[in-house]
Structure 1
Amino acid sequence: MSIASDNNLLWVSSDLSDLLTVSVEGQADNSTVQGMLIVNGAASQWLTGAMDDYTYFELLDHYGIDPINFVGEVEEHIALLMK
């Protein structure tokens, strides 16, 4: 995702799952990195309909991410971009 400031256009990734990705610190242990990979893979599955809402939200919760707030922030971001 990048911002083109010279013409006031906002460029957004064509893959919406980029907005639902998470990252971990460089010193994170292997289980934390594996959790990040699972959560990021699940975002793509959820957006394509390969994973239902309940499963995706349960997975986020399992990895310590509040699903309502996390997805809500992305929805608010998209709504702001659409204005």
Structure 2
Amino acid sequence: MSIASDNNLLWVPPDISDLLTVSVEAPADDTTVKGMLIVNGAASQWLSGAMDDYTYFELLDHFGIDPTKFVGEVEEHLALLMI
């Protein structure tokens, strides 16, 4: 994902949770796909306040995602929007 487009505007998805989604490459086994669905569902729950920070970060870590780096990249993207 590139945060800058040709016209120097920042890309913002219709649903902000899209910035926290993950994907898997095909062919992925069922366990990997289920993990992706869990992580993507958790992003929406976390952003809506239905899941606390600790639980979300632990879930990311459980699936092999560095939570600080992953969320940090999204925070950097959003910080650019606030300039």
Q: TM-score range by the shorter chain?
A: 0.7 to 0.9
TM-score normalised by the chain length of structure 2? 0.86
How many equivalent residue pairs? Answer: 82
Q: Which residue of 1 aligns with 2:55?
A: 55
Between Structure 1 and Structure 2, the one with more strand by share is 1
Instruction: Give the structure-1-normalised TM-score.
Output: 0.86
Q: How far is 1:31 from its partner?
A: 0.2
RMSD over aligned Cα atoms: 2.0
Matches of 1:64 and 1:34, distance apart in 2: 14
Over 3 Å off, 4+ runs: 3-6, 8-11
1:35 match: 35
The higher radius of gyration belongs to 1
- The alignment-based identity, stated in percent, is 77
1:1-83 aligned within 5 A: 9-83=9-83
CA 1:77–1:11 in 2, change beyond 3 Å: closer, same or farther?
Answer: closer
Structure 1: give runs of 5+ residues left out of the alignment: none
